[in-house]
Amino acid sequence: MPDSMNRVLRRVLDDDPNSPMLTFDKLGRTKRYPMGTYDKQILCGECDGGFSPWEKHATDVLFTQHAWSDLRYDRNGIPLSYRLVNAEYKPLKLFILSLLWKTSVSALPFCGGVALDQTTNDRIGAMLRSANPGTAADLAVRVCQFYRMDAALTFESRGEDISGLHHVVMYLPGYKLLVKVDDKRVSLDPVVLRPDGPVLVKLLNFQGSPERRSLEKMAAKM
């Protein structure tokens, strides 16, 4: 999570802006990261600043100016998704791709669960340099939000196979970001970000989720 986003969220939550981010790793350990994580080996300050407009847009639409409508339910009354009213495809997807690229190329232990091949890293880097997020099918992105969340934690990024497709899973407080990183061509999920449609957020019940079960396993060991 970028330092700029971390500081904004701390102000929204009325916390000290320098308070650490509490993160849960794949081995069931919690770690504290002051002001998020930062790897000064992968980008110069000017290049890193180029991501700022995308980071600001994501901070606005997901947190500080979060506005939504069109909440949808399944036939059993379980919430499925909603529309982000003020979100835009291009800056939101570029923000998520910038997180993905930085996570993949960084040597920090925090990012150790993600290691894309050089061809994919170069492809994402070219998209970022040209500020071109591509089509919906190009590194398809889904934004998910947890509800009934009862733990103030986020989680480390990782690679994961979902329905036979390889994804990178990343987290922001309360959100789960999925990016499809293989070359298999499949029909797109309705909530995949699209340049020609509304920005939809998939809703996930934190209770019973893999993330919640991981916390339960950790608590059982204490």
CB atoms within 10 A of CB 43: 18
Element (H, E) at 218: helix 210-221
For 115, residues 6+ apart whose C-beta sits below 8 A from its C-beta are 104, 159
Global pTM value: 0.82
- CA separation for the pair 22, 24 (Å, rounded): 7
- CA separation for the pair 163, 101 (Å, rounded): 23
What string of pLDDT tens digits covers the 222 residues of the chain? 666 666 666 665 555 555 555 555 555 555 555 444 554 555 544 455 578 899 999 999 998 899 999 999 999 999 999 999 999 999 999 999 999 998 888 766 666 788 899 999 999 999 999 999 999 999 999 999 999 887 666 788 899 999 899 999 999 888 999 999 998 888 889 999 999 999 999 999 999 888 888 777 766 665
- CA separation for the pair 45, 191 (Å, rounded): 34
- CA separation for the pair 23, 5 (Å, rounded): 16
Element (H, E) at 40: none
- Smallest CA-to-CA distance from 126 within 104, 99, 105, 98 is with 98
Residue with the two structure tokens 């180029």: 50
Q: Domain span at residue 128?
A: 3-221
- Smallest CA-to-CA distance from 25 within 219, 218, 222 is with 218
- CA separation for the pair 89, 154 (Å, rounded): 24
For 1, residues 6+ apart whose C-beta sits below 8 A from its C-beta are 21, 36, 37, 154, 172, 173
- CA separation for the pair 158, 15 (Å, rounded): 28
DSSP conformational letter for 63:
I
Query: What is the chain's alpha carbon radius of gyration, rounded to the nearest angstrom?
Result: 17
How many domains is the chain built from? 1
